[in-house]
Structure 1
Amino acid sequence: MAQKPEEDDKIRLDKWLWAARFYKTRALAKTAIESGKVHCRGERCKPGKEPRVGDEFVLRTGFDERTVVVRALSIVRRGAPEAQALYEETPQSIAKRKEAAAQRKAGALGVSTDGRPTKKQRRQFHQFHDSQ
């Protein structure tokens, strides 16, 4: 799975996130890091940060926020089972994600509407809006 130990010591965070299959491309991983979606010890990271075994990262992807602990380093992107061996998600993070997914599925977090407005309702809205 891992290359040579001396090469793995110099791995970049964006490359590790790509190899661990959190992001499809290194460019997406770099963009996520630069936009503040990856934190280490409560602080924003840089793409060139060197992850170490045991480091804990908080990653936001879409609606989900994961807390993962680095278990191994790799600079090569391989299959999903091998990529999952590079990290371990904390039990609190798993529970939090499942709870958030259940709430999204139940519609608790979204805005519920009666559907699209009718033509009459749309006219009334535009009339009200234009009068203001």
Structure 2
Amino acid sequence: MQENWEDQHIVFFDGDCGVCNFWIQWILERDQHDRFMFASLQSDFGQKFLSERGLETKIFNTLYLWKPGQYYFVKSRAVLKIANVLGGVYKLLAAGKILPVFLSDQVYDLVSRNRMKLANQKCFLPDQQQKKKFIEV
């Protein structure tokens, strides 16, 4: 585990979801500036994050992006912020902020409801370097 995770953007995701794991792998491959860390919502760290904010702790259909001490984003806004933080061409996706949250979250929810059907269900196994980016406490 990276020692300074408090300085990172932390992506909380459903560790049992193939679609979620695909997107975590996608972010890992594009995180050229080492700005992201990851924690499954099922982990002790994920459960603590959820309970401290009064969020659902048993249903894992929501992506969260947290910058400790600054902000956290949910669902479509988390996706757009991740694109913005990745920078480069991905920053263009952040233009999606012009859509009202209720519309972009409807699209997010549609994908979320059908993610198990969409998932290839292949298990993502991070390499040694990538493992350092996962918070397991």
Query: Normalising TM by the smaller chain, what interval?
Result: under 0.3
Which has the larger share of helix?
A: 2
TM-score normalised per structure 1 = 0.27
Q: Which has the larger radius of gyration?
A: 1
**Relative contact order (C-alpha < 8 Å, sep 6+): which is higher?**
2
